[in-house]
Structure 1
């Protein structure tokens, strides 16, 4: 009966930990609403890359259609390639064989499946490490509680939750990479302590999938597997393993060879890709400067001090007195030791956002360094080494972003599992009070990590999608703040135009609530539109109407575009958009002498475009509003009337009047409450 009870403890601890972690992950993944085909941005950019690659495979090709990847494409010998390895594309093929209805909308589903695999393999790795550390001793109640806390922190309190906020290629690949590397680490440890053919085959499968998802993870697992093979050959993991050393060695080497071969076919190099041939390099002067300053690459040990400081700084987090209360640092990551960075964004640190896992990983170091004759405990060393080695790529990479800390998660999990069970062994020999204090502290850190990553994920989703989610996010900032403080109200400013500079989370009102803007804190797109009042022109029609054109609006972005009204003799009018590519006209509609109609321009923040409509007539077209300039910095545009009010176009027989668009709701409230 006691044995059954102890098994139940393991099952209950696993279930509780994964359920809590799963709730956190899926709330972030769905952004608190049920939309299984949600993408990171409304236009779907970045959420269709793996679909394009899967379709190319079905057509017997590796390259994808020209210009289909935008700035992310690599053009080699006239063909466009995706630099991401193909595993997430391969798993889409069964869906594409059945239907094309979900093209470009499979990222969320893919990330959901990846988390399930991640959760299962994390739990299996945790209990396997315990078996090694404790030699299979029955699970105590204290250990079950500690395991549940660890699983909450591991599956619901890491940067993987932040990754879930944006269902597009940049984050999808990391969720899969973490899941596959953790699975590979489990089978690597299984193979090290039980070098059977079945275990080696599982290891090879996970190693291959990991290598075809993210290069650093694939290389780390391959090196770890070959290290285990050599350790077996030398008898470091027991004399009975000498004859089976080839199993893990080949299980690491063969998948590595496949991944290297695929990259060679695309780019002629076993693991690097030619940045000088990326479309982004051709349009971005700073990228070209970074390549020149770093010898034609943006990888190297010169970036290690910068990465170490930013990814492990204790203050790599920001606390504010308004929603979301916990967020990323207010400034983009800074370079150190003279490094010339390619790009950097506001970057949270491992230390600040995943403190429990980092502490447990540090606890594991003296345990792993201790001399032992126990071959199973020795087997932990190459596995932890492989997990830590995954992060070697980002530590020597001149591009900093919070999502890159995903590379640290596998190492934190395997080392943290060792630290957890080593700490439990120590605490079980001490008093109950110390155990309760330690467990309460661990639970508090786990809860903090879950909250910090969930809140940061929600902010990221709102600022990336924009539109109504961003407006709701700003409204939440106004509604939820520390009671005895001014909260976000003190961040409100007002002027006749949008200033060039600002501070993170600043809310700027242009004019008399003509527009409301939020400062993101990032260098490349500092201001984003929250809401903007439409520009409206009332056109009064005279008894006689003649052919002609009259400008109504000028939309200022990186270029000026014009909205014009065209009329003809038989009392018909239409709205024309004049841009650098020529004219685009809406449908003709009838107008009558003595009557009037309206033409309006409103901005869809989630599209970054101004929408031109008329009543009657309806939709005319879109005009770019937020555009990237020659330095690839984005800034919202402006819209001006092209005439002085009122204006009479005598030749056409019309008179133009300005009219206020529908009033905004959030902006006046914000101004009123901010005083």
Structure 2
């Protein structure tokens, strides 16, 4: 007899296998030997850091490097470099490319925290709503962040690890939102996760740090309300450890920035970017509009949510091509939309946001509204930055997922408790699950065939001809 438990177990087991197989589908081996190339950048970074230096060998990072004072630097965070320390135990270890292996580990960690979030929500809120439990398992396992970024390049490895830290953070945050006593475990966990993200991918780290600050302010305020000295001392201790751990992450990051760029607040100096030699227009664009500019927001909205920019006009140009070319270095393939890859979570999250903003009943949510609202806004900072950034790449969708997961989870809880009897809502959600799974996996396939960087030179005959030629020719 097939039970709910068996179904759920099969979902998670198959998802883990699917993650590993998908990463290895482009190559049969998780570790390869290479003479040179960007995929060895973290190997070189690790070796140099062990000698107290923060540059990398030019033959690794190549055009992705930044030339300063005769040395070449990479802009990626240092955490993935520390994962390479064991390769020193092997002959010619510095030439071992473990990008795929590292990506697989990060993906499995993402899946693990997705499972933990699902398990917590199912046990606490979905005991009587089997459809919600199974639906959330399918969405977490086979769509969205767990699937969309299946690739084996170094760029994706960084995104995978930042998402792994974000998953740890969101799991701890959800637990704390519904059970404030869990802060004793969640505070240090969220501080370590935020520090790890900052040392991996700064944009993700900024969002997690801002959300952590919201929790710290909230629990500091509660500590100040304590009337007994004993309770106040205990509360301060609960706040102090997360502050120290997160502060350590900031100090390390500032030191790395200073060693690389001469300024602890600079994360990358794109005036020194070696790719500027190949794309000289980027220097002019950066000087004119900056790395982040609010005037790009509408283009970011189109790129991430309404991918009409791949529609070709009669004259051979594309919709909004002039605006993208003027303001942005690259809008990268494949075209996608969160409404398709994450429709289930987007609808749940949208319903939750609407209710949070416009339903004033105090008994409708079993948590502090202001805290949750502040955390949602904080987690949205990285997504906002990506929508006004000078480049819009497919992998930058990673920055949206902490908010998508948190909002979707809270929205599904609200639907199960108050909206499960709404006509057609459950059917719409079921349809969105199918769309999310299919589109996420289809996008993952297209991503493997897509060229990185500016898309217009690659598809003069249209996006359909481009993919037909890449896949079948």
- Normalising by structure 2, we get a TM-score of 0.81
* Residues in 2 aligned to 1:43 and 1:331: alpha-carbon distance in whole angstroms: 40
| Contact persistence 1:177–1:217 (CA under 8 A) | yes
Following superposition, the deviation at residue 185 of structure 1 comes to 2.1
Are 1:311 and 2:304 counterparts?
yes
Aligned to 2:280: 285
Following superposition, the deviation at residue 67 of structure 1 comes to 4.6
Are 1:181 and 2:175 counterparts?
no
Q: What CA deviation, in whole Å up to 9, does each residue of 1:365-399 have, x standing for no partner?
A: 13433443666353543443333223132122011
| Contact persistence 1:191–1:199 (CA under 8 A) | yes
* Residues in 2 aligned to 1:349 and 1:34: alpha-carbon distance in whole angstroms: 30
Q: Mean alpha-carbon deviation: is it higher for 334-343 or for 269-278?
A: 334-343
Are 1:342 and 2:329 counterparts?
yes
Following superposition, the deviation at residue 273 of structure 1 comes to 1.2
Larger radius of gyration, structure 1 or 2? 1
Aligned to 2:455: none
- Equivalences for residues 446-457 of structure 1 within 5 A: 446-457=436-447
Aligned to 2:127: 139
- Residue of structure 2 aligned with 1:444, choices 434, 437, 441: 434
- Residue of structure 2 aligned with 1:352, choices 340, 347, 360: 340
Are 1:30 and 2:24 counterparts?
yes
| Contact persistence 2:351–2:411 (CA under 8 A) | yes
Are 1:223 and 2:210 counterparts?
yes
| Structure 2 residue matching 1:80: 3-state secondary structure | strand
| Structure 2 residue matching 1:48: 3-state secondary structure | helix
Question: How large is the Cα RMSD of the aligned pairs?
Answer: 3.7
| Structure 1 residue matching 2:67: 3-state secondary structure | strand
Following superposition, the deviation at residue 174 of structure 1 comes to 0.7
Distance change (3 Å), C-alpha of 1:236 and 1:59: closer
| Contact persistence 1:388–1:408 (CA under 8 A) | yes
* Residues in 2 aligned to 1:76 and 1:451: alpha-carbon distance in whole angstroms: 41
Aligned to 2:53: 61
Aligned to 1:158: 144
Aligned to 1:361: 349
- Residue of structure 1 aligned with 2:462, choices 490, 495, 503: 503
Structure 2 residues without counterparts, runs of 5 or longer: 312-316, 453-457
Q: What CA deviation, in whole Å up to 9, does each residue of 1:28-59 have, x standing for no partner?
A: 212276332369xx987332211221222233
Aligned to 1:83: 75
Distance change (3 Å), C-alpha of 1:390 and 1:196: same
* Residues in 2 aligned to 1:336 and 1:226: alpha-carbon distance in whole angstroms: 37
Structure 1 residues without counterparts, runs of 5 or longer: 1-7, 319-329, 465-498, 507-518, 522-526, 531-665, 668-675
**Number of residues of Structure 1 aligned to a counterpart in Structure 2:** 446
| Contact persistence 2:172–2:190 (CA under 8 A) | yes
Distance change (3 Å), C-alpha of 1:315 and 1:444: farther
Following superposition, the deviation at residue 182 of structure 1 comes to 1.6
| Structure 2 residue matching 1:376: 3-state secondary structure | coil
* Residues in 2 aligned to 1:280 and 1:289: alpha-carbon distance in whole angstroms: 13
Q: What CA deviation, in whole Å up to 9, does each residue of 1:403-423 have, x standing for no partner?
A: 211211221111111112211
Are 1:213 and 2:200 counterparts?
yes
| Contact persistence 1:349–1:405 (CA under 8 A) | no
| Contact persistence 1:146–1:439 (CA under 8 A) | no
- Normalising by structure 1, we get a TM-score of 0.59
Aligned to 1:111: 103
Following superposition, the deviation at residue 201 of structure 1 comes to 2.1
Following superposition, the deviation at residue 196 of structure 1 comes to 4.5
Aligned to 2:314: none
| Contact persistence 1:298–1:341 (CA under 8 A) | no
Relative CO higher for 1 or 2, CA cutoff 8 Å, sep ≥ 6?
2
Q: What CA deviation, in whole Å up to 9, does each residue of 1:558-594 have, x standing for no partner?
A: xxxxxxxxxxxxxxxxxxxxxxxxxxxxxxxxxxxxx
Following superposition, the deviation at residue 426 of structure 1 comes to 2.7
Distance change (3 Å), C-alpha of 1:159 and 1:223: closer
Following superposition, the deviation at residue 226 of structure 1 comes to 1.1
Following superposition, the deviation at residue 285 of structure 1 comes to 1.3
* Residues in 1 aligned to 2:181 and 2:426: alpha-carbon distance in whole angstroms: 36
- Equivalences for residues 125-524 of structure 1 within 5 A: 125-128=117-120, 136=124, 139-140=127-128, 142-143=129-130, 145-158=131-144, 160-165=146-151, 167-191=152-176, 193-194=180-181, 196-235=183-222, 243=236, 244-267=238-261, 268-294=263-289, 297-313=290-306, 315=308, 334=321, 336=323, 340-346=327-333, 347-369=335-357, 370-371=359-360, 372=362, 376-378=367-369, 379-428=371-420, 430=421, 434=424, 437-438=427-428, 440-460=430-450, 501-506=460-465, 519=466
Following superposition, the deviation at residue 75 of structure 1 comes to 1.5
